[in-house]
């Protein structure tokens, strides 16, 4: 396929590179980042998408997505598919899909899970909203960039799935870190706690696959001084999106709201910015109940 790729940051660059390595013709554009090997640098966003079968975007937030969509949709070929892989608010995803479809284009919102490592390794999971036809068009590209793509429903469903998933992740990581800090103060060895919890009813991805305690379980950012695999500020962004969505549909999400408050304090008032989201553990370890 001929592919346009807008947004070549930490996630977009390896995703675009994997598509190019698989033999697709990829033109890329980013205001600040350079194109990875195999991707042709376009002089503008409009030039990157001209004549493309599929246009992928990986952008920081909904406002920028709306701005970029307004620029590239008029420049896209009729019948092409706009596939946004950013994590944004559901309202922005649906607005961009409506704009694209009104212009005769297919549209998908396809946020990802798997982080920078998954982007490089081609093992991302895509949560996708949009039409069956658009999903079928982009499915071969999802197979190159990731290990799984789930068609979650109509426009906005991909963002809804991502927001709900990461609300669970934020809350479970927070309580996992709390539990390790409590275990320390109770005199329980961390390795023994892991052995119990990882095979008992406290089992979770945060404990078993991404343990926040260094030297325990599989290799994780805690073993690298909490340098981010998934930065705390990105978790904060996703938790904010979850509460914006909850407010919009009048959903009661007290645990999600509490996780948001914790990560807001950690990132904005403490030392969490630039650290992995699992670095809540040393935060709790250094604090008392008050």
User: Which positions are annotated as active-site residues?
Assistant: 162
Q: How far apart are CA 131 and CA 50, in angstroms?
A: 22
The DSSP-derived string for 237-269 is HHHHHHHHHHHHTT---HHHHHHHHHHHHHHHT
3-class secondary-structure state, position 63: helix
HSE-CB of 255 using CA atoms within 13 angstroms: 11
Is there a contact between 232 and 275 (Cβ–Cβ < 8 Å)? yes
Residues 6+ apart with CB under 8 A from 63: 92
The answer to whether the beta carbons of residues 54 and 138 sit under 8 Å apart is yes
Rounded to whole angstroms, the Cα distance separating 84 from 49 reads 13
Task: Give the integer Cα–Cα distance in Å for 139 and 145.
Answer: 10
Which residues, in sequence order, are CB contacts of 201 under 8 Å at separation 6+? none
| Residue whose token pair is 């479970």 | 172
């Amino acid at each position: 396929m001929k592919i346009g790729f807008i947004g070549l940051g930490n996630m977009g660059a390896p995703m675009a590179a994997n598509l190019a390595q698989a033999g697709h013709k990829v033109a890329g554009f980013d205001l600040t980042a350079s194109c990875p090997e195999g991707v042709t640098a376009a002089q503008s966003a409009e030039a990157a998408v001209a004549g493309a079968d599929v246009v992928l975007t990986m952008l920081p937030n909904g406002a920028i997505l709306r701005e970029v969509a307004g620029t590239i949709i008029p420049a896209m070929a009729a019948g092409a598919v706009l596939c946004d892989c950013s994590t944004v608010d559901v309202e922005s995803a649906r607005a961009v899909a409506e704009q694209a479809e009104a212009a005769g284009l297919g549209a998908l919102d396809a946020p990802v899970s798997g982080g920078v490592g998954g982007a490089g390794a081609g093992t991302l999971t895509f949560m996708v909203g949009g039409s069956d036809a658009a999903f079928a068009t982009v499915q071969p590209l999802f197979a190159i960039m990731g290990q799984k793509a789930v068609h979650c429903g109509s426009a906005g469903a991909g963002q809804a799935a991502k927001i709900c998933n990461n609300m669970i992740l934020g809350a479970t990581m927070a309580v996992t870190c709390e539990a390790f800090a409590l275990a320390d103060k109770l005199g329980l060895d961390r390795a023994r706690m892991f052995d119990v919890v990882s095979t008992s009813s406290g089992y979770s991805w945060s404990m078993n696959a991404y343990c926040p305690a260094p030297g325990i379980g599989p290799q994780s950012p805690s073993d690298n001084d909490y340098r981010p695999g998934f930065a705390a500020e990105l978790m904060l962004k996703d938790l904010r999106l979850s509460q914006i969505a909850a407010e919009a549909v009048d959903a009661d999400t007290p645990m999600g709201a509490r996780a948001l408050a914790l990560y807001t304090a950690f990132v904005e008032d403490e030392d969490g910015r630039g650290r992995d989201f699992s670095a809540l553990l040393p935060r709790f370890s250094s604090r008392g109940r008050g």
